[in-house]
Chains A and B, each alone.
Chain A
């Protein structure tokens, strides 16, 4: 169903707040994977505030949908999103990265409410998501498994082992979303290790695909609606995004894969987020 303007306005406001919270968390943490956290904000917002069947008061609720963020280095995006969604007070994020904190840059599911599986080592999330989806189907559960992959992560062979099995088992209760921001630590994905034709790869592995602007709620929503329509095959949503999205001086910059912000940069980043002006086109690989 099409999103209303009110919904989209609320999402935009939530996204703005989440980006500000990501900057705060980065300051507290001393540094973070900003680029890939900021690129997936709209995906997190539409999942946590619209699609995921969850209850922050009952993080272990058996019937909840599962979200596996395979690009676990984006913990600095997920943890503030969980706080904003009501899993725990934002205040708790002040310990991020510090001694004995429940929050490290790659989140531990045993310590952080609302995290379904611990991730961090790339290429692990999709295999575990396939297991979740198989388990749900075997136990006749309606809950869905969402898996967010990084695009650079798709260099890992285990991603394709899992993709093959998701298609083989016809897991249409599994939704894969790839944050196609086009950049990885050492440069552009196409320069470091070419992924294109990326959508064709997913198709060839047996997925139905949708390529969308990962910052556009209408496009994300229609792709997720399709994925949830029991189409008979797993769906991969290739969400083209801008790394560092929302902070003008970070957008599309390889060097902001990981970084820290001093008080000057913090102010600049927040001003840029507040202005909400940055609306550069999506990445095209």
Chain B
């Protein structure tokens, strides 16, 4: 395993460690720097890799057993005692089994609990629908005080975990199972919570993506340039809340076509957040959301599911082509309505 120096993550690190392992290592690093950092989990210390932190600080990792309501209540109490708890479990349980504890114990009281929700989307595809989670972004972004981050890969997870320390309130960081391919070459690309990363410039259409979809969107843009001669902008919207409104407005203004892509229901997630900005802007824009269409996902290995649900580069490219062929009302005057 790569030697972690504390500040810089390299391509090598992310190739040799899973997303979740990187998270565990970053948390350990934070724990060394700040004695207030503690971990809490519910019998998933190993699966969520928070166990890495527990090995370094056995007295600072609390495993409450298979009891997610208690997990988040305990995390709230730990935070209220002056600590900064990182609570880790599967996304399905964090966002649904314990939704009310997250809302009432943590968000309502604006406590600095950092939730690392793993196995989100269909990352644990073979486990079946009980362990898939396609609703959590919608749920979490509805809670006042909550910041919602969906990192594109392990390196961005490292950045997000570190950045969460500077946010005084609760943070929800949504990651996969840990075997997702890397997107970023290194940690130094100017990650800032609430500020989208414009990964690729383009003028015909903007793909706004989060999580595993960012890499696929970038691949799709390359493919579309080569095969269709299209100029596609790619935006990594890693922070769903607060959403980077300026970046969405720029996409409306400059490309007039937007496609959102996410490993989540098309209801209430990234697509919903972007749709809000578009609708409030009062500007015409061809718009489509690619994700799970209000349906329960089927069983399968994640790669098979990503292609089945058209979240791979080919699926995204097809969705882009569909929008390119669509009419929408041209409106040359941007300033009149905003």
Q: Which residues of A contact B (CB under 8 A)?
A: 62, 66, 109-110, 116-118, 120-121, 123-124, 126-136, 138-139, 141, 145, 157-158, 161-162, 164-165, 168-169
Docked CA distance A128–B100 (Å): 13
The answer to whether B38 touches A130, judged by C-beta atoms less than 8 angstroms apart, is no
In the complex, the chain A residue whose C-beta lies closest to that of B81 is: A135
Q: Are B80 and A131 in contact (CB under 8 A)?
A: yes
Q: Give the contacts of B59-93 with A (CB-CB under 8 A).
A: 59-60, 62, 64-65, 67, 69-70, 72-83, 85
| A131-B67 contact, Cβ under 8 Å, with A110-B110, A121-B100, A169-B62 | no
Contacts A110-B110, A127-B101, A138-B60; is A132 near B73 (CB within 8 Å)? no
B70 is contacted by which of A120, A133, A139, A161 (Cβ under 8 Å)?
A161
Cβ contacts under 8 Å, A124 to chain B: 73, 100-101, 104-105
Chain B positions 213 through 238: 1 when the CB is less than 8 Å from some CB of chain A, otherwise 0: 00000000000000000000000000
**A161 & B80 in contact (Cβ 8 Å cutoff):** no
Q: At the interface, yes or no: B108 with Cβ under 8 Å from chain A? A: yes
Instruction: Please list 22 pairs of residues, one from A and one from B, whose beta carbons are closer than 8 Å in the complex, sorted by A's number.
Output: A62-B82, A117-B80, A124-B104, A127-B69, A127-B73, A127-B101, A128-B74, A128-B77, A130-B70, A131-B74, A131-B79, A131-B80, A135-B80, A136-B81, A138-B38, A141-B81, A158-B67, A158-B70, A161-B65, A162-B73, A165-B64, A165-B74
CB-defined contacts of A66 to chain B, threshold 8 Å: 80
Determine whether B109 belongs to the interface, using a CB cutoff of 8 Å to chain A: yes
CA distance A126 to B74 in the complex (A): 8
| A126 CA to B67 CA, complexed, in Å | 13
- 10 smallest beta-carbon distances between A and B, as pairs: A131-B77, A127-B73, A135-B81, A161-B70, A161-B67, A131-B74, A128-B77, A158-B69, A132-B77, A131-B78
B96-124 contacts to A, CB under 8 A, are 100-101, 104-105, 108-110
CB distance from B269 to the nearest CB of A (A): 26
Q: How far is the CA of A141 from the CA of B80 in the complex (A)?
A: 13
Q: By the criterion CB–CB under 8 Å, are A128 and B73 in contact?
A: yes
Q: Is the CB of B101 within 8 A of A138?
A: no
Report whether B83 and A138 are in contact in the complex, using a CB–CB cutoff of 8 Å. Answer: yes
Are B104 and A118 touching (Cβ within 8 A)?
yes
Number of B residues near A (Cβ < 8 Å) is 29
Interface contact A133-B104, CB-CB below 8 Å = no
Among B38, B67, B108, point to the contact of A118 (Cβ < 8 A): B108
The CA of A141 and the CA of B105, in the complex, are separated in Å by 22
Q: Return the contact of A131 from the options B59, B75, B104, B110 (Cβ within 8 A).
A: B75
* Extra inter-chain contacts (15) besides given A117-B76, A157-B69, CB under 8 Å: A117-B77, A117-B80, A118-B108, A121-B100, A121-B104, A127-B101, A128-B80, A130-B70, A130-B73, A130-B77, A132-B77, A134-B77, A135-B82, A158-B69, A165-B70
Give the residues in chain B near A139, CB-CB below 8 Å.
Answer: 81-83
In whole angstroms, what is the CA distance A161 to B65 when docked? 9
Report how far A86 CA is from B73 CA in the complex, Å: 29
On whether the beta carbons of B74 and A127 are closer than 8 Å, the reply is yes
Interface positions of B (Cβ within 8 A of A): 38, 59-60, 62, 64-65, 67, 69-70, 72-83, 85, 100-101, 104-105, 108-110
**Alpha-carbon gap, A145 to B75, bound state (A):** 15
Residues of A within 8 A of B82 (CB): 62, 135, 139
Closest to B62 in A: A134
Chain B min CB distance to A13 (Å): 33
Residue numbers in A under 8 Å from B76 (CB-CB): 117, 127-128, 131
B78 partner, pick from A123, A134, A168, beta carbons under 8 A: A134
Q: Which residues from A are CB-within-8-Å of B74? A: 127-128, 130-131, 134, 162, 165
- Which residue of chain A has its CB nearest to the CB of B36? A139
Given A121-B104, A134-B78, A139-B82, decide whether A165 and B67 contact each other with a Cβ distance below 8 A. Answer: yes
| Interface core residue of B38, B74, B100 (most chain A CB under 10 Å) | B74
Contact across chains for B78 and A110 when beta carbons are under 8 A apart: no
- Per the bound structure, the CA–CA distance linking A131 and B111 in Å amounts to 13
Q: Within the assembled complex, what's the spacing in Å between the Cα atoms of A158 and B78?
A: 17
A141 nearest in chain B by CB position: B81
Q: How far is the CB of A193 from chain B (nearest CB, A)?
A: 18
User: Which single residue of chain B is at the shortest CB-CB distance from A123?
Assistant: B69
Q: Which of A136, A162, A169 has the most CB of B within 10 A?
A: A162
Chain A residues closer than 8 Å to B108, beta-carbon distance? 118
Residues from chain B with a CB closer than 8 A to the CB of A62 are 82
In the bound assembly, the distance between CA atoms of A126 and B79 in angstroms comes to 15
Whose C-beta in chain A lies nearest to the C-beta of B77? A131
Chain B residues with Cβ below 8 Å from A126 are 73
Q: Tell me which residues across on chain A come within 8 A of B85, comparing CB atoms.
A: 131
Report the minimal beta-carbon distance from B10 to chain A, rounded to whole angstroms. Answer: 34
Residue of chain A at shortest CB distance from B67: A161
Give chain A nearest CB distance to B271 CB in angstroms. 31
CB atoms of B109 and A127 under 8 A apart: no
Which chain A residues lie closer than 8 Å to B110 at the CB level? 110
Find chain B residues with CB under 8 A from A136 CB: 81
